[in-house]
A and B are shown apart, each in its own frame.
Chain A
Amino acid sequence: MRLEITGLTKRYGKQAALNDLNLTIHEGGVLVLIGPSGGGKSTLLRVIGGLETPDSGTVTLHGERLPVTESGLLAYRRANGFLFQQFNLFPHLDALRNLTLPLETVHGQTPEQAKATAEEALERFGLLAHAHKRPAELSGGQQQRVGIARAVASKPRVLFLDEPTSALDPEMTAEVLELVQELAEGGQRIVLSTHEMGFARAVADQVAFLAEGKVIESGPPREWFENPASEHARRFLSKVLRYL
């Protein structure tokens, strides 16, 4: 994955969620964003996921500038996938329809193609048995997995995941993380934020440590976890790793 971000700023009122943020990634399929709450991880994901427009700065993904027009952003969102913490699925549709609807209406597949694609995606994640259940009839973990299946069914260039497990209990967290790991091993490019340090370390090719709207440091997980350069990251790690 090639990602270059320069001078990225996003304000909500007076609050700067992203404050002149810079980040350059040259290689590695999985980028993990780590950092204290309120550090700007979600905001960064939303901007590079095409859901929010920054106030200033540029993002270049694989040599292409992030579009600024609404129609450009729409096309960009269609080419990538996004998953939030929770409530991703449309509650009035069953799992299968949650997958087929965007395939038909956004990606131009015929109903038969969409059904085949969707069933293949559900099958792959062991969810086919739940195809005809509505979100309310699925566990939180199953909902997130169906959400991921929906996001990857259209073969996104990059999959953005914002704390995909933070609303789940440990058992469900494990099943979702396994799935993400599987995707990563299959070559899916992923940018995700998480508070699960063990998982971050295992799955990441690159980590970026965000605090106060900036990337404080970034690099391969091994080095960063063993020996963070900044005092800020060291304090953060010692706090979150205390009980591991």
Chain B
Amino acid sequence: MTASRRNWNLIAGLAIVLSFAAFCFLIFSGLRGGWNWQGPWEARELLFKGWKTTLWISLSALVGSLLVGLLLMLGQRSPLVVVRWTCRLFLEFVRETPLVVQLLVGYFLIFAPLLSRPLDNIGWDEKLIIGIILLSLFEGAYLGEIFRGGVESIPRTQWESARAVGFNRVQVYRYVIFPQALRRVLPAVAGQFVSLIKDSSLLSVIGAPEFFYQSRVYVSKSYAGLEAYIPLALGYLILTAPIAILSHRLERRFRDET
């Protein structure tokens, strides 16, 4: 790096830090009554419970969306036209309507009337379960497209060689196509998982007691200000950051391998 480039870096860095500090000062000086960490601290159990619920929702929907995505990808490669079309239609519908609308319609109109009673009977939280199902369907539609792109990006010669060594249909996917496609789609899948975690906050619209919902409950009870939203941001960051980091790691490892 040349000396003048270094100087400019320093100046730009200072300017950024200063304007950020000024920005924060403006915001915080506008707060009435200053900081009050007492409130969030007292509500920590409620907030933590919400955070754990979000973790649980995310993990379940992660598995669920993988299954949905896989099925949609395979469905779109089915030899049967009807299956291909149905998958395509479902996929387009899910991707072209807002998640909030899907959650409201899916919960109140479709799943709650069907599943509430039986789920209650076995003692499961119907809002959580239905929320997980709806979230899995939504994120799965995106994963389905990502997977399809990955599988279709594998060159024809690989399919042919796999057939030539005597692999059957399932083995072709399992040993040749998936391992190679996985390396290609990994960044996109990780990005989708991060979206999934963030999107799970929308489950609050059907009253699922997750992190965002509990924070809102706390804020409305205590009239708390900004303090309540800072743990919220941090709580989501704790969930999403490891995925981002892991994905970068794996990406680098796969790149070194080939």
**Which A residues form the contact surface with B (CB < 8 A)?**
49, 51, 74, 77-78, 81-84, 86-92, 101-102, 105-107, 134, 136, 150-151, 154
Contact = CB atoms under 8 A, between A and B. Distances in A.
From B158, B160, B161, B165, residue with most partner A Cβ within 10 Å: B165
B242 interface: no
Interface string B229-258: 000000000000000000000000000011
B176 interface: yes
A128 B158 CA distance: 24
B166 A90 contact: no
Contacts of A88: 157, 161, 164
A211 to B, nearest CB: 25
A49 B163 CA distance: 11
Contact of A89 (B161, B166, B179, B183): B161
B168 interface: yes
Contact of A150 (B155, B165, B258): B165
B161 A106 contact: no
A77 B163 contact: yes
Contacts of B175: 90, 101, 105
A-B residue pairs, 3 tightest by C-beta: A78-B166, A82-B164, A87-B157
- Determine the main DSSP class of B at the interface with A: helix
B199 to A, nearest CB: 32
Given A88-B161, A106-B171, A134-B258, 8 more contacts: A49-B164, A74-B168, A77-B166, A78-B166, A92-B258, A101-B175, A102-B167, A136-B258
B160 A51 contact: yes
Interface of B: 155, 157-158, 160-168, 171, 175-176, 179-180, 183, 257-258
A220 B258 CA distance: 45
30 contacts: A49-B164, A51-B160, A51-B163, A51-B164, A77-B164, A78-B166, A83-B164, A84-B160, A86-B157, A87-B158, A87-B161, A88-B157, A89-B161, A90-B158, A90-B161, A90-B180, A91-B180, A92-B257, A92-B258, A102-B165, A105-B167, A105-B175, A106-B166, A106-B167, A106-B171, A107-B166, A134-B257, A134-B258, A136-B258, A150-B165
A115 B41 CA distance: 61
A51 B239 CA distance: 48
Given A92-B180, A92-B183, A101-B175, A74 B164 contact: no
A30 B155 CA distance: 31
A83 B155 CA distance: 16
Contacts of B163: 51, 77
Nearest to B183: A92
A151 B161 CA distance: 10
Contacts of B180: 90-92
Contacts of B168: 74
A91 B258 contact: yes
Nearest to B161: A88
Given A51-B163, A90-B161, A105 B171 contact: yes
Contacts of B258: 91-92, 134, 136
From B164, B180, B258, residue with most partner A Cβ within 10 Å: B164
Contact of A84 (B157, B166, B176, B179): B157
